[in-house]
Structure 1
Amino acid sequence: MKVGFIGLGNVGGKLAGSLLRNGFDLAVHDLNSDLVDAFVARSAKAGGSAAALMEECDAVITCLPSPAASARVLDEMLPQVGPGKIWLEMSTTDEAEVKRLGAEVAARGGMAVDCPVSGGCHRADSGNISIFAGCDRAAFETVLPLLTVMGRRVLHTGPLGSASVLKVVTNYLATANLVSCAEALVVSKAAGMDLNTAYEAIRISSGTSFVHETESQVILNGSRDISFTMDLVAKDIGLFQQVADRAGVPLDISPRLIEIFADGIERFGPRELSPNIIKRLEEATGLDIRAPGFPAQMVDDEPEAPGEEVVVHRQAAE
């Protein structure tokens, strides 16, 4: 399978790197020519344009910063879509929009899959990230060999659009975890607790979470670097709120998270690293929430391993 990859940013570049590292025939495209050149130096081909990639490749993956960016790129590729062509949308996007775009791909005889990732840039880099895939079962089985190279755990979530819903659900939870971890660390410091001890107390208790065991570490280091920015958080939690609004679900926490990150963006700028949402509380209290011995960036310490489908277990009807 010849694969095209569009969007070589913090996540996309790492996913594309897994394909290249594992021997795929890969062509790449990005508005940043330096990123393309770096991949060409590693034996990838320069795609030239989105349309050229779709014309030349069996499957084209997009990993872009917004639904609008994905729509622009797909519009460029659509004239080249036909039977046998596959579009995989790995961006965090809107359920309704990926369904709309997927219908245009299907109308031309192509196959569309929404397959966002979850687990952090460090796991995208190692090929151990988790991947959700929304599509019919036949399409899933077609793309599974491709997805299991980029990810360790691959979950078929249902029809097109279902993966995008679950992706924003999990990003919402991660954001709520981040804000609560920030509050917990600041309160611990204000109450006179040693932050190294506080970190371990949370880690070994019912209060722990994936976010605590990763993002709390770079918060305490002071780098706050997880290669994710406040504008991207705002986009993701906004998409979650849209899902809730369409479903008619009144929420309490989600609107407050949107307000918190809007305030963070106003204070620190849209491209500020997302864990620096803790600066709102550092400034309010005058406290410095740092401690020795924590890493500046997260590195996946699991060796790369072949991915596999995660099977949803259901109790058989009696």
Structure 2
Amino acid sequence: MGDKPVIGFIGLGLMGHGMAKNIRKAGYELWVRGRSNRKPVESLLSMGASEAASPRDMAERCDIILICLSTSAQVEAVIGAEDGILAGARPGLIVIDTSTADPGSTAKLAAELASRGMHMVDAPLGRTPKEAEEGTLDAMVGCDDALFERVRPVIECWAGRITRTGAVGSGHKMKLLMNFIGMSYGALYSEAVTLGAKIGISPQMIREVIGPSRLGNGFFETFMRYVVDRDRDAHKFAISNAAKDLRYINNMAADAQVMSVMASAARHYYTHVEATGHGNDYVPMLSDHVAALNGIVMEDEVRKGAAPGEK
């Protein structure tokens, strides 16, 4: 491995597996810790990674630890629990949190790590599991200049576009703004296809007209690939995560004393779906739930709108 730092990776979900895989492919010594799903762990072990017994064990072995989890509460537990990173950490350790997190939590964790001679970097992700496997994610990185240069080679293993957003915490703020736009698109598109179905405009027609126009974008394309083509894997981002992000966004707006009518409105759709037990559905499936609230079965509307021979 030469002079390369030893890397740890916690959180081997839809995004984490691809990221960790690309770090290992770049020749870094890699220690991993997953969840109950053993498949991504075994995949990485087969590539020469090692499995840490706990976050504490990982901190005792590694120079840089990346975290890719669903919530700030999970990140806080991994860092601060009895067998967490802090319990085994030593001065100079760098923790890179790639989760979509609450910036308030990030600030507290960064201060705690700094008080013990360690460093925190926030580097949340853009794009999808497909790009994670390909090593072409977007990264929004919050840290100082010197630290950025130290972690950049590791981030380059899994990111094709890296933007330093400012001081620690700024990456998570930027990511929440990004997800505010994206999840609001999801709510808007769900209402639009539902209203269209009610007034006789098929989902296919909406895609045909909007897709090539100035209103089309990558999010619209993957969203409509589910609505029209019923491709369940078009955008693999769980509604439960979207609901969590919108809670963080509304909290961030409240802390900044900013009126957030759009963020509040978008949150209700995702919260409804999560509350009815469908949080594991992916974001484009929100369209089915909004349709159902209005007495519509979206799959039937797609079938009715299909050209002859396509039904």
Shorter chain as denominator, the TM-score bin is: 0.7 to 0.9
Of 274, 277, 290 in structure 2, the residue corresponding to residue 281 of structure 1 is 290
Q: Which one scores higher on RCO, CA 8 angstroms, separation ≥ 6?
A: 1
In structure 2, the residue matched to 1:236 is 245
What secondary structure, in the 3-state scheme, does the structure 2 residue paired with 1:149 have? coil
Q: 1:189–1:23: structure 2 CA closer, same or farther, 3 Å change rule?
A: farther
| Contact kept? 1:6, 1:28, Cα under 8 Å | yes
What secondary structure, in the 3-state scheme, does the structure 1 residue paired with 2:153 have? helix
Q: Distance in 2 between matches of 1:220 and 1:135?
A: 42
Q: Distance in 2 between matches of 1:82 and 1:138?
A: 19
In structure 1, the residue matched to 2:191 is 183
| Contact kept? 1:177, 1:209, Cα under 8 Å | no
1:219, CA displacement in angstroms? Answer: 2.8
Provide the alpha-carbon RMSD of the alignment: 2.0
1:215, CA displacement in angstroms? Answer: 2.3
1:191, CA displacement in angstroms? Answer: 4.1
Tell me the amino acid that sits aligned with residue 159 of structure 1.
A
In structure 2, the residue matched to 1:145 is 153
Of 12, 20, 25 in structure 2, the residue corresponding to residue 21 of structure 1 is 25
- % identical aligned pairs: 25
Of 103, 108, 113 in structure 2, the residue corresponding to residue 105 of structure 1 is 113
| Contact kept? 1:186, 1:287, Cα under 8 Å | no
What secondary structure, in the 3-state scheme, does the structure 1 residue paired with 2:182 have? helix
Q: Structure 2 matches for 1:148-159, cutoff 5 A?
A: 148-159=156-167
1:143, CA displacement in angstroms? Answer: 0.5
Q: Distance in 2 between matches of 1:128 and 1:169?
A: 21
Of 90, 96, 111 in structure 1, the residue corresponding to residue 98 of structure 2 is 90
In structure 1, the residue matched to 2:87 is 79
Q: Structure 2 matches for 1:241-252, cutoff 5 A?
A: 241-252=250-261
Q: Distance in 1 between matches of 2:16 and 2:237?
A: 13
Q: Structure 2 matches for 1:205-216, cutoff 5 A?
A: 205-216=213-224
1:220 aligns with 2:228: yes
1:35-74 Cα deviation digits (max 9, x unpaired):
3223212221112211111111110001111111101111
1:286, CA displacement in angstroms? Answer: 2.4
Q: What is the TM-score when the length of structure 1 is the normalising length?
A: 0.86
In structure 1, the residue matched to 2:55 is 50
What secondary structure, in the 3-state scheme, does the structure 2 residue paired with 1:87 have? strand
Tell me the amino acid that sits aligned with residue 286 of structure 2.
I
In structure 2, the residue matched to 1:314 is none
The gaps in structure 2 that reach 5 residues or longer are: none
Q: What is the TM-score when the length of structure 2 is the normalising length?
A: 0.88
Q: Distance in 1 between matches of 2:22 and 2:153?
A: 13
Q: 1:42–1:223: structure 2 CA closer, same or farther, 3 Å change rule?
A: same
Tell me the amino acid that sits aligned with residue 12 of structure 2.
L
Q: Distance in 2 between matches of 1:185 and 1:221?
A: 14
Tell me the amino acid that sits aligned with residue 7 of structure 1.
G
Q: 1:74–1:165: structure 2 CA closer, same or farther, 3 Å change rule?
A: same
What secondary structure, in the 3-state scheme, does the structure 1 residue paired with 2:165 have? strand
More moved, 84-93 vs 185-194? 185-194
Q: Distance in 2 between matches of 1:144 and 1:201?
A: 41
Q: Structure 2 matches for 1:60-75, cutoff 5 A?
A: 60-75=65-80
In structure 2, the residue matched to 1:256 is 265
Q: Distance in 1 between matches of 2:198 and 2:215?
A: 19
1:281, CA displacement in angstroms? Answer: 3.2
Q: Distance in 2 between matches of 1:219 and 1:24?
A: 41
1:10 aligns with 2:14: yes
Of 41, 62, 68 in structure 2, the residue corresponding to residue 36 of structure 1 is 41
What secondary structure, in the 3-state scheme, does the structure 1 residue paired with 2:157 have? helix
1:190, CA displacement in angstroms? Answer: 4.0
1:200, CA displacement in angstroms? Answer: 3.2
1:151-177 Cα deviation digits (max 9, x unpaired):
011111111111111111111110011
| Contact kept? 1:190, 1:287, Cα under 8 Å | no
Q: Structure 2 matches for 1:266-305, cutoff 5 A?
A: 266-283=275-292, 284-289=294-299, 290=302
What secondary structure, in the 3-state scheme, does the structure 1 residue paired with 2:276 have? helix
Q: Distance in 2 between matches of 1:207 and 1:3?
A: 42
| Contact kept? 2:60, 2:90, Cα under 8 Å | no
Tell me the amino acid that sits aligned with residue 123 of structure 1.
E
1:206, CA displacement in angstroms? Answer: 1.7
| Contact kept? 1:228, 1:274, Cα under 8 Å | yes
Q: 1:124–1:279: structure 2 CA closer, same or farther, 3 Å change rule?
A: same
